[in-house]
Structure 1
Amino acid sequence: MDQIRITKIFSFETGHALYGYDGKCRNVHGHSYKLFVTVIGNPINDSENVKFGMVIDFGDLKKIVKEEIVDVFDHATVFNKNTPHVELAKELSDRGHSVLLVDYQPTSEMMVIYFAEKIKQRLPSGIQLHSLKLQETESSYAEWFAGDN
């Protein structure tokens, strides 16, 4: 049977600061991210299956990405755990703000690598993550392709 790619798009708001960066993005700021998630697989060929003709139910893909990415990152502020902003992060967290301290520089490039690992772990057998596109601004995005990795 033919392999088919399907894509679902997600939106979330996230703040971050780039530790050690030599430009404006060293300051705390935020983005309205768009995440394009593309998976590949064979459509279900069993006419008795309620998901007949689907690679994966868009609702099932939405649940995975929402739980692993959107619910975690939406309206959170992300800092590299080695940042001097760690005191600010603690203060924000103590005041009830959602703060994530991560092991990577929170650039679109590194976030998309992290997102790929989280999503791959949750996909059902027979479905592979094909690509991710994380759009940070109207004109800037990072892409991850399984074929490149």
Structure 2
Amino acid sequence: MIYLTRVENFNAAHKLSNPAWSKEKNKEVFGKCANENWHGHNYELHVTVKGNPDPETGFVFNAKTLGNLIEEYVVEQVDHRNLNMDVAFMAGKFTSAENLAIGIWEQLAPHLPEGVQLHCIKLYETPRIYVEYYGG
């Protein structure tokens, strides 16, 4: 089994807030992330797929094709957008890095060919904070 990772970047704004809570409770739990005027991140996305190399190409999956899928189904949807308001696959969800990683998985998984599996979504929200999602 071989693992191939493609790295992409995007910028997006969001706000973490539970509408059932007071402004004070949201600030207590989410801190600066509950800013009424939103805040943004320069996200770094690592998408890892796995499989066996194709005997005709030596590839698990063409890295350029993987980049194109990420661009179409993720980056074009989220880059320079408000995750709370503009991104259909995040509608009705808390826009935490955890939920965004799950959403990205759900966007990409159906578009991989037979024999290639999505292994991991690793999403850096900041250089010191990231999440990893392995499906399921």
Fold conserved between structures, TM > 0.5: yes
1:139 is aligned with what amino acid? R
How many angstroms does 1:145 deviate by?
1.4
In 2: Cα distance, 1:59 partner to 1:100 partner: 24
Per the alignment, in what secondary structure is the counterpart of residue 53 of structure 2? Answer: coil
Per the alignment, in what secondary structure is the counterpart of residue 87 of structure 2? Answer: strand
Alignment length (residue pairs): 122
Within the candidate set 44, 53, 78, 1:73 is matched to 78
Q: Which runs of 4+ in 1 moved over 3 A?
A: none
Cα RMSD (Å) of the superposition?
A: 1.2
Unmatched segments (≥5 aa) in structure 1: 47-51, 80-88, 90-98
For 1:100, the equivalent position in structure 2 comes to 87
In 2: Cα distance, 1:100 partner to 1:68 partner: 11
**Larger radius of gyration between Structure 1 and Structure 2:** 1
How many angstroms does 1:40 deviate by?
0.1
1:24 is aligned with what amino acid? K
Within the candidate set 31, 55, 58, 1:53 is matched to 58
Superposition TM-score, scaled by structure 1 size = 0.78
Indicate yes or no: 2:33 matched with 1:25. yes
Greater alpha carbon shift after TM alignment, 121-130 vs 16-25? 16-25
1:130 is aligned with what amino acid? H
Per the alignment, in what secondary structure is the counterpart of residue 66 of structure 2? Answer: helix
In 1: Cα distance, 2:55 partner to 2:92 partner: 42
Superposition TM-score, scaled by structure 2 size = 0.85
In 2: Cα distance, 1:125 partner to 1:53 partner: 16
Taking every aligned residue pair, what percent have the same amino acid on both sides? 34
For 1:14, the equivalent position in structure 2 comes to 12
Within the candidate set 50, 54, 72, 1:40 is matched to 50
